[in-house]
Amino acid sequence: MQLEGLRVMGIDPGLTRCGLSVVQAGRGRVILPVSVGVVRTPSESELTERLLRLSRAVGEWMDDYSPDVVAIERIFERGNVATVMHTAHAVGVLVLAAAERNLPVYMYTPSEVKKAISGNGRADKKQMTMMVTRILGLSEAPKPADAADALALAICHCWRAPALARTRGHTTAAGHARRVDGGVRGPVRSLDRTSNDRTSTGRTATAQTES
C-alpha cells in the first residue's frame, strides 16, 4: 500500500526537553525531512505552567505543519519514578493536543523504533543517530539526542504505516493526497542547526518564548 505524501510528526516526550520532528513519506522508503526542534520548559516553574507551555508549543507545531498522524515514544519504567511521572504528564498533554485536532496517535517502544531504523532492537544512541542522518540525507547529525529520537520515531511510523493501514483497514489518504500532487509544502532543509531552532522556519522552538 502506497502512502506517499503522508506527513508524520514524531515526538520524543519529556517535560524538561521534548523532541519534535516532522517528516514526509516519499516514494518507496524515501523520507523527506521537514522540521525538527526541542521544546524546553524551565524546571523551576510550576508543573501546571510547564504543561501549559508544552501544550502551546506542540499545538503550534501541529497547526503550522499539519501532520496526518503523530508518533510518540511509549513510556516505560526507567527506574526514576519522578522522571516517569513527569514524562507521563507530558504525554497526556501531547495526546490531548493531537486529539483536539483529530490526529491519530501511534506509540512505539524504544526497541521497536531501534529495530525499524537499524535492524537491531538494542542499537545505541550513536548507531541510531548515524542511521537517522543517513536515512534523511542530512549534512550533519541532528542534535541534541531528543531531536534525533523524535526523527527516528517519525521514520519508524513512515515505514510501518503501510502494514498498519492494511491490518487496521484504513488510511489517511484523503488527508495527505494533496501532498502527493503538490510535493512537500514549504522548504525542506538540512536538519543541522541547534536544538532551539526550527530548521524549516528558523523560528525558536523553546517553550520559554512560547514557540
What are the CA-CA distances from residue 66 to residues 8, 75, 127, 132 (Å)? Answer: 9, 25, 30, 22
Catalytic residue numbers?
12, 73, 146
pTM score: 0.82
For 88, other C-beta atoms within 10 Å of its C-beta total: 12
Cell 495527505 belongs to residue: 176
Q: Structural domain of residue 139, as residue ranges? A: 6-166
173 occurs within a structural domain: no
The string of pLDDT tens digits covering residues 84-124 is: 899 999 999 999 999 999 999 999 999 999 999 999 999 99
For residue 73, say whether it is annotated as part of any ligand binding site: yes
Q: How many domains does the chain have?
A: 1
179 occurs within a structural domain: no
Cell 534525533 belongs to residue: 148
199 occurs within a structural domain: no
187 occurs within a structural domain: no
210 occurs within a structural domain: no
In degrees, to the nearest 5, what angle opens at C-alpha 105 toward C-alphas 179 and 81? 140
Query: Helix H segments across the chain?
Result: 47-65, 81-100, 110-118, 125-136, 145-168, 173-182
CATH number for the domain spanning 97: value is: 3.30.420.10
The string of pLDDT tens digits covering residues 40-77 is: 999 999 999 999 999 999 999 999 999 999 999 998 76
Determine contact, residues 53/72, Cβ cutoff 8 Å.
no
